[in-house]
Structure formats: structure tokens, C-alpha cells
Amino acid sequence: MRKVAFVLMALLVLSQLPLTVVAVPESGRELRVVYEVSYNTYTKRCREWKQCRPDCSDPRFCVKADCCRSEERTGGVMCSDYNVYKYVGSAVVEVVLSKGGVSVRVESDGRTWSREFGSLGDAREFLEGDEALNLTKASFFRFPVVVEDLGGGFVPDVKVGLRVLGEDIYEGRRVWVVGLEPYDEYKYRFFKSVYDGREIKVYVLSTLTKGDYDEIYHIRVDRLKILVDKETGLLLYMDVNASYYSRAWGSQPFPPNWEDIIEDCGQLEKEASIMYRLVAHISGRKSPGRLCFILERDLDYSTGKYVVEKLAGFEFIVRKNGLEKTVTLDKDGCVNVTELYFVDKNGNIVAGDYTAVVEKKVGLGSLVKWSWYYKTSHLFPPARIAYRVEEEDGGVRLSVLKTINARVSNEFGENIFETAPLDVTGGGKVVLRSVEAWDKMVHYAVYRFLRDAGVSEEQAAKLRDLPIYYGQQVDHFTTLVWNHIKLYHDASLTYYFSSSDPGMLSEMLEGIFHEFGHAAREYLWKDPSIVFRYKMLGGAHASPSKPSKSGWVAFDEGHSNFFAYLAYNYLLDKMYDLLDVPTGEIDDYSGPVYRDKSYLGDLVEGRVAGLLLRILYDGDEAKAYSVFLEVTSMSDQITGFKNPYFGTRARPPRKIDEWLVLAYLYLPTKRDVILREAEAYNMFFQHRLPEAEPGGVSGKIIVLYHLDSLFLGLSTWYSPSHGWKNYLAVWEYTLWRVEDGSYFESDSNSYNLLFLDGNVFYVPPDAKLVFHRDYVEVVKGEVMYQSAGSGKWVKVGAKGYSIIRISSVCVVSVAGDRVNFTMVEGEATIKTPRGTVVLKAGRKLVGGPEGYDVVDVDVGSESLAYEMKAMYLSVDQKKTKYGEKVILVVEGVPPGQRLVVQAFNTNTTETLTLYNGTTEGGRVELDARLGAGENLVYAYTVEGNVTLAESNPEHVYVKPASVRLELEVDSETVPVGGKVRVKCRSSREIGGVVFHVASPSGNVTRVEVGGTGEVFEAEILLDEEGNWTITVEPADPNVRAEPRSVVVEAKGGVQPGGFDPTLLVVGVVVIVAVLVAVMVLKRRRQKRYYYPYYYYYGYGSYPQR
């Protein structure tokens, strides 16, 4: 239904009798009420009745049946035909009350009609009828448009028992809240009703027999809300959603004498649903009110609420066409709207468009924090309020057109986002939010989201307290030692929004939550490899719809997009009161650009995010991320597999393909949607599950894990239905459905784990397994097989021998035509060409074409231990001073591989490469001079772009060198607009200095002088009168010095030895004044001029300051 813009003219002052109908306002001014009405009703009513008689002989008048439900009675009635009525409609009804009477204007179904009445009482019947408000469509809840007396009992003139439940505020007016509460009996004309809190039962009194009933209604109320204006008694709001049915005796004679007979022997008379909604708005001319300014200064994490303060004494500027004046708020932080416009010299309001400029800088006590974290001196994002001033019937109307960084609402609770222009003539409020409160809001939203997702208090609090540094010209999460987030814009620009386009803020919030997504990975499912986190992740990713540089990066960025979508929507759904800006929707990665075949989805971050959302998100953001974390943690069972002979290092999934492996295994109810969406987003995973005939082995799911290796090796899985090999790179694990004829093969540098239905195969280099319908065949090399337990083992064979039953661990090796089965633990039943053998732990079966032998063996020497040696890094000292050497030793370096040794400095976030070259292996020793601060030193080997081996990290703290600074200026006093030359001397050679220049008003600018040396100079402009403070400190992060400061005074007027150009202007003005005076004295008649008082008080065309 079309929205009606209400002309808010001035609040009417009516009679002080709160429940007396007032036809004409005492003030003589008009009252305007606009109703918006909509209804949708359905009624099914019996049209023809017949009596139920077991001995009925004439079907025209009766039914041969017993329609009573109990055995106590016979007979009853039956409805043989029904009529159906459906009414759907809407209307806009405008009611204007004035001294001249009441005028009503109705718009409905494209038509408009009007009526005039002498009083509201005369208009009441028309208003409640079907030509206007259609209150009859509310059925049992038909409510009078004007209530003359509510008192303490039931509302009069309503068929059911409605009471006053309390008071509330509706659009700035005090209202009675009317509704239902259980009651024993209420009578209205021929209706008697009772309400037990669940159902209203209405008895229709018989018109034939006193005390009996013709019909009984059963009413279910799903929604009921009625608001009545306390001052006028006018119905202002009504929302009804109900349904009912009734049983009756129809038009047949002999109505029953007891109500239970109707329930037992009556028939369905009516069945109906009611939806009726009425919304009213009252307006009249308002007296100008106060506009109050409120600042949300901080956010209290313990309560989840803002710390709010009134901006008492705050000053802002009002501008119009080059004129401006300063407005000062009172002790309550308020100002009357009459102060927000100019008045000309004749006392007339200067109508037109104005702008309020609302800004405030932080004090010196907070300036360091604001500069360090928020990169701004603004207390809150600078706000602008565009508004229009209009004269109206001798009064004034002030309407807000648009705001920037300000949330404005009027006394009715209407806000600028939903209603523009927004009438604030009667007053309202302007809400501002400090950059610190904005910053804490996003931190708190992440914390709440993670806590609801099941993350521990400790971990969630770490992310809540993660520092954000604004204005860094980059959006990035920095990890390794010192975790923090960098954002491109300063905080005042980051949290910019406009009332005309509040959705602009959504992109900023999405970007912040994206960086928190990277942080969540670091804290909640951190990869143990420093080299992987630092070297393999990150980098440019221009578009979420285009391929990233690797599947690792696509998964990392896709997860952050997924996290950002969930966190953002959690903020909107669960914490909107804290945001309070209608920012709108963000991309959910479901568009066609993400769901075609143009790119492999594994490499596109937007497709990764879209796939995760389609699989996990059903409207519950916290649940979606909780399940994501749960699936991710399952990676430990594959990558962290351990037995007594070897153990691997657990790590989370690194690519979307690996995550899908886990989801498919551990979310069986999601398997259909996983496959469907993997195909829609063009993920390679869709190819991993070909059709296969079910058997003892074929048709089962197998997971292949290529362990970390010191040498670049490849593993191969062959799928007969595809007809091609799939290569597993180092670190990778994948999932396949086994087919008859599939095989797995490792090359000379490949170490692998295979998981098949709970059974684990350790496959070292140079081995091959072929998978048949009912068994696994070892074709080449050796394999260690650990069974899943009784009933879940698989048959493994080689060279005509096979394990047909096993518990625990066995090594199977093939060389030429020979095969060995070595029982490391437990026992196995082995089928041989000459029968079966039970092989126990510590024994070995050696078989060939001619037969077999069983011998005792040393299990320790026969088991296949995973003994890959890692590199080890050590340093000779973990604390040192800048300039001193640190000796580093790397041991266990694989021969022939390129070794890289690096140091990451947490102070500068820069990486220093200490060594990069190919070695002969073994031990490498080198010395280095590290930058001041905390340094993370690590080593790794690389072949091509693949990292092979990785050392442990070491932390080395380097203490900065101490220097002494001296600061001097060429003059301690300069004229305003002049420059001062500052010079800094250092006691030793350093890499630059920074001058911090604080103006008299508190603004601080930064002047950096680079280069290496001992003397640094700069010229600084002093363009504001007062004392300027200049402080110097080293720009070189490797040195430390006590800051030095000097104070320079900038004075107005002429300084000694200087020329003030204003003297020339003054001289010219004096000469002109003398000439004018002479001319006036020569005139024969003199005139006297009188200037209105408002010229002296800054009105008219003069700016007010």
C-alpha cells in the first residue's frame, strides 16, 4: 500500500480530559489524522441445513444419519452446502478536524471520495463503515474509532472482552495498550464470551428461547495489538491476525437446551480467517522544539552497551550561502530549532537550505592514542546535517534532508534513514558515535559471534582485543609474532556513512570482518608451519571472481570472505541496536559469475566462500561457523596420525578440496548438497567420486595423504573411469571413491598415508597398490598395514598370497616373485597356495612360487618407521644489542637443496634474508646483524616454488642502541604565517628523525626527515597564533632516544624589523573615511539613520559567531 507522507504542522494541545472526544481543538487549529488500512478475510458459511434423523424418509428435508458424536443422544444437524466470502483491500483515509467541522477523504482501489461532517460524532458511523476504515472486517475485534471511556473494565462496544493492558509511546504520543487477558465472562448484546488464555469461546444467545444458545464460536488469536490515543481517545493502531470456527443448530427447530449439545450434535456453521491492520498518524502544528545531541563515546564490553554522554556546551557551525554562525548547545546538549536559521534585518526567517557542520577534536590527553591507533584527531567521524527551513502559516518548519555520519530522529521516533525529508520542527535527537566506540563495536561483534559459535572465552577474547591500526594505506592482517590488523583509511573515513546511501558502510564493515577472518584462522585453526603461513599465503587478489595465485590463497581468502559474510549478518541480525545504520546486504557469492565453468573453483576465493555458505549457512550465522570449525578440526585425524612407529604433525586443511574431503566424511547428511554445490561452483572435488560397483573394496571411500617430505616427490592415483592420473603434491590429502582397477603409486621421494574404511596403509617411496573389487594388491615395494579392527579389515594380497583376516599391524613387501608378510603386532590369517597360516607378532612369512617359510624376526628392524629428519636451527644468544653479531647454525640440511634463512622483525614487519643458496647438506653456520626489536628467525629449503623442509623458529631480541638528541630553532618568536627552522643533532649516526609539531589548537602534524647522518633540519610553517610545541624523536627503529622539545611563539602584529601589510590597508580606509566625511558636511540637508536592533545583534546579512 502506498505510503502517505504526513504533513507535520504542530502538535495540537487538546483538552486535558484524556478520554473525552474533542471535535475541535481548543487552540482553534486543525488536527489531521491519516489512517492506512489493509485487510484480508476469508469466511466459509453454511447455506443450507438439514436435520439428522436415523429414520429419515425424505432427503429434501433431512439426512438419514445420526450426527451426534456421543452415544448419549441421536439426531443433530448437517450442513449440505456452503457459501465462501473473501475480502481483500486497502485504503488511505485522511480525517481533518477543525472549527468548521470534520472532513474525510478516502483513497481506495484507485478511487477517491470525500465527505464533510459537523462533528466527529456525526462522522463516526461513516468512518467505521465499509466506505472508509472497514472496521467490520475485524469481525469480533471490531473496535470503535473513538473510545469515550476506557476506565478500568472492558472496552465498550466490542464483541469480546478487551482490556487496557498498560501504557506506551506511539509516534511521540502517549497511548493505551489494549489487548486480551484471561477472563471468566463478558457479555455484549447477544454475545457471551470466556477466555482461558488459549482460546476465546463466544456463545450466541438464542432469539427464541431465553438462556439457550444458537451458536458457539472458537477463536484462536495469533496476533492482536490495539493502541488508543490517551489525549483524544482516537484509535491509532490495530493489528489483528486470528481464525475461528463455529458450531450451530442452523435454521432447524427445537434448539437444544444445553451448550454441550451444540458441541456434540451441531455442525460446522462458519470457518474464517481475519487479517486486519490499521495504522494512524496524527499531526498538527507544533511548537518549535529542542534538538539534542548525544555522543556514544565508548562501548562497555561487560554490558554490551554504549557509554553515552550529552554534548553539553558543544559548539558547531551553521552555514547558508556563504554565511555562517556558531551554535552552542545548552547544559543538556540541546538547542531550540529556532537557533538553526538566520533572520534578516526585518525580522523575517531566511528560508532555504542550510548545512550544520558538526566536528570535534580530541583533547591532548587522548591525542596520542587517537594518532597511534585511529590516525585521526577527530573524536567522531565529522558529521554534516543538510536541512531545509520553510515558513508555514506564520510558523516555521525545519526538515532534515540528508546527513553524513549522524543519525537523526524526530520526537515521533521517525529517523532520517526511513523518512526523508524528516520533520524535526518539534525537536528530536542527533546521535554521534566516537571512532573508539565504532572500533569497539566491530571487535565486540566478532567476540559475540565467536562465543555463539562455541569458541572458548579465552580465544574469543583474544580476537576481541586484537588491535586495529587505521590509516595504514593497506588492508591486512599481520601475524607471526605480533598479531594486528591494518586498515587502509583512518577511522573517521572507515566509519563514514550517508543517510541517503547507508549501504556504503557495508563495504567497510565487510572489509574489517574479512581481516578478522584471517585472524580467526590464526587463533582458531592455526597452521603449525611458519613458512606456509608466511610464504605460501597472502599476496594480491584483485577480485573475488578471478583466480588467485594458488589454491592455498583461494581457500585462505575464501574463508575470510565466508567469515565476513557470517559476522556481518550476525551483526545485522543479532546486534543491530549497536550498529543502528541500515547498511543493507553484501555479496553472498551466489551470482552467475561464481557458478559457471570459466575457472576452476578451487582457485577462486569467491567460489570457495559461496560453496561454504551454500553447504553450511541456513540463516544461523553462529551455527554455520561452528560446523565449519568442527569439520576443520577433523583434519587432525588424518594429518596427525600416530602409531608406535611414527607420527605426523597435525595441521588444518589448506585447500578447499581438503576441507571438502573432511566435510564429506564427517557430515553424511550433507553429502548430496556437497556434490551438487561442488559441481555448481566448478570444484575439482566433483570428479573424485566416480560410479563404482560395490564390493569388499570397490565403492568405498579412500583418503590419500602425501606426507611432508625433505625431497620433492609425487604420488599418483589412477581412476579407470576417468582414464587419467591425479598427482598429489607434497602436503596434500584428497578423497576418492575406489574403482575396480584403481591404483596408487609413490615415487622415489614420496611418503604417504592411505585411509580406507578405518584401515591405514603407510606407503613409503617406490611402492604401488592396485585396488580390485574385493581386495588390495601390493604390486611393488613395501607397505605397512594397520587394520581398523574386527569386522572392518580389508583383504590384502600379493603374488598369490593374501591376508584374509587381521588384527593390528603387518608389513607386506614385494620384490621380484617373492612376498613377505611380517606381523609387527597382533596376528593375521594368511591364505597361501598350500592352505592357510596364522601368523603371530614377531614372525614373518616368506613366500614364493615354490612355497613359503615362517621365521622369527626382530620387529624393530622390520617395521616401517617414518624417520624423516627435520632441520634444526640454533642461535648463540637470544638477547643482544643492536650492531652486535648473532651466530646461527642450521643442521640437517638436505644436500643439493636451496637453503633460505630469514629473520622477521616485529617492529618494522620487514623480513631480512640472511642466507639464500644451495648447500652440500649437513651443517650451515652464518653470522648476522639483526634489526632492533623482536626477531623471528627460521630456515627452510625450497625446490622451485615448493617448500620441502622447515626448521624450528628461534626468537632473538635486539635491544636498540641509545643516542642523545639535541634540538634548536633559529627563533623563539615568529609572526603568524612565518616559518621557523629547526635543527636536530644526534650523538651518533642514525637513520632519520621525526618532528612532531603541535599547534596551539592541538592539531599535530608529522614532519619526517630521512637519510643517514648526525644532523637533520626542517622548515616549519606556523600559521596560527599562540605557542607551538615541536618535539623530535628518531625515525630509525634501531635506536632509542629521549624526545626533545622546544616551544616557539607565533605572534600577530608587526615583529621587530618587520612590515605589517595591514597598516597599508588601515591607512587607505582612513583616507577614504575622511573624504566621505567632507562630502557629507557639504550637503545642505542632513539625514539621520536609525538601524534596527537586529543589526547590532548579528542578524540580517551578517554572520553570527
**Adjacency order of strands within the sheet including 476-478:** 468-469, 484-486, 476-478
pLDDT tens, residue by residue, 315-328: 999 999 999 999 99
pLDDT tens, residue by residue, 145-154: 888 777 668 8
| Residue 651 located in a structural domain | no
| Residue 63 located in a structural domain | yes
Q: Are residues 91 and 131 in the same domain?
A: yes
By mean pLDDT, which of 506-510, 987-991, 1053-1057 is the weakest?
1053-1057
Q: Are residues 511 and 560 in the same domain?
A: yes
Beta strands of 99-234 (E only): which ranges? Answer: 101-108, 111-117, 163-170, 173-179, 183-188, 191-195, 200-205, 213-229
pLDDT at 98: 75
Q: Are residues 333 and 274 in the same domain?
A: no
pLDDT tens, residue by residue, 915-924: 999 888 788 9
Question: What angle separates helix 504-524 from helix 435-452, to the nearest 10 degrees?
Answer: 50
Q: Are residues 837 and 898 in the same domain?
A: no
pLDDT tens, residue by residue, 749-762: 888 999 999 899 99
Structural domains of the chain, count: 6
Q: Which three cell numbers stand for residue 357?
A: 557542520
Residue 631 and residue 664 in contact, taking contact as beta carbons nearer than 8 Å: no
Nearest-CA neighbor of 983 among 1008, 1010, 1019?
1019
Q: Are residues 158 and 241 in the same domain?
A: yes
890 φψ region: left (φ > 0), alpha (ψ -120 to 50), beta (else): beta
Nearest-CA neighbor of 972 among 1006, 1010, 1023, 1022?
1022
pLDDT at 509: 96
Residue 190 buriedness (CB in 10 A; 0-12 / 13-18 / 19+): middle
Q: Averaged over 148-169, what is the pLDDT? A: 83
| Residue 355 located in a structural domain | yes
Q: Averaged over 638-665, what is the pLDDT? A: 88
Domain boundary pick from 862, 880, 914: 862
Q: Which three cell numbers stand for residue 389?
A: 527551513
Pairing of strands 1013-1022, 978-990: antiparallel
Confidence bin at 859 (pLDDT 50/70/90):
confident
Domain boundary pick from 595, 620, 645: 620
Confidence bin at 686 (pLDDT 50/70/90):
confident
| Residue 673 located in a structural domain | no
Q: Are residues 185 and 53 in the same domain?
A: yes
Q: Averaged over 673-681, what is the pLDDT? A: 96
Q: Are residues 887 and 852 in the same domain?
A: no
| Residue 552 located in a structural domain | yes
Beta strands of 738-834 (E only): which ranges? Answer: 742-746, 752-756, 759-763, 767-771, 775-786, 795-798, 801-807, 809-815, 818-823, 827-832
Q: Are residues 220 and 138 in the same domain?
A: yes
Nearest-CA neighbor of 600 among 676, 679, 690?
679
Confidence bin at 208 (pLDDT 50/70/90):
low
pLDDT at 779: 96
Q: Are residues 421 and 456 in the same domain?
A: no
Confidence bin at 87 (pLDDT 50/70/90):
very high
Q: Are residues 273 and 326 in the same domain?
A: no
Task: Evaluate if residue 1081 carries a pLDDT over 60.
Answer: no
pLDDT at 786: 92
pLDDT at 251: 59
By mean pLDDT, which of 394-408, 645-659, 858-872, 1010-1024 is the weakest?
858-872
Residue 649 and residue 708 in contact, taking contact as beta carbons nearer than 8 Å: yes
Pairing of strands 795-798, 775-786: parallel
Average pLDDT, the chain: 86
Contacts of 1067 (CB under 8 A, 6+ apart): none
- Write the single-letter amino acid at 361: K
Q: Are residues 295 and 333 in the same domain?
A: yes
Alpha carbon distance, N-terminus to C-terminus of the chain:
48
Percent of residues, the chain, with pLDDT higher than 90: 56
| Residue 399 located in a structural domain | yes
Cα-to-chain-centroid distance, residue 1026: 47
Task: Evaluate if residue 41 carries a pLDDT over 90.
Answer: yes
Residue 905 and residue 931 in contact, taking contact as beta carbons nearer than 8 Å: yes
pLDDT tens, residue by residue, 945-985: 777 888 888 999 999 999 999 999 999 999 999 999 999 99
What DSSP letter does each residue of 31-96 carry, written as one string? EEEEEEEEEEEEEEEEEEEEEE-TT---TTTEESS---SSSS----EEEEEEEEEEEEEEEEEEEE
In angstroms, rounded to a whole number, what is the distance separating the alpha carbons of residues 78 and 708?
82
pLDDT at 1098: 30
pLDDT tens, residue by residue, 99-158: 678 889 999 888 898 999 988 788 888 988 888 999 989 989 998 988 877 766 888 888
Note the pTM of the prediction, 2 decimals: 0.68
Pairing of strands 1044-1051, 973-975: parallel
Residue-number span of the structural domain to which 570 is assigned: 438-620
CA distances from 884 to 876, 932, 938, 1038 (A): 12, 11, 19, 12
pLDDT at 674: 96
Task: Evaluate if residue 843 carries a pLDDT over 90.
Answer: yes
Domain boundary pick from 862, 881, 913: 862
| Residue 107 located in a structural domain | yes
| Residue 627 located in a structural domain | no
pLDDT at 258: 58
Q: Which stretch, 10-24, 565-579, 632-646, 898-912, has highest mean pLDDT?
A: 565-579
Q: Is the dihedral of CA 986, 989, 991, 992 positive or negative?
A: positive
pLDDT at 234: 87
Angle, CA 536 vertex, CA 703 and CA 507 arms, to 5°: 100
Confidence bin at 562 (pLDDT 50/70/90):
very high
Percent of residues, the chain, with pLDDT higher than 70: 89
By mean pLDDT, which of 230-234, 253-257, 465-469 is the weakest?
253-257
Q: Are residues 101 and 188 in the same domain?
A: yes
In angstroms, rounded to a whole number, what is the distance separating the alpha carbons of residues 794 and 801?
14
- The C-alpha cell 553515552 sits at 308
Q: Which three cell numbers stand for residue 573?
A: 541480525
pLDDT at 323: 92
In angstroms, rounded to a whole number, what is the distance separating the alpha carbons of residues 115 and 777?
95
Q: Which three cell numbers stand for residue 347?
A: 525580522
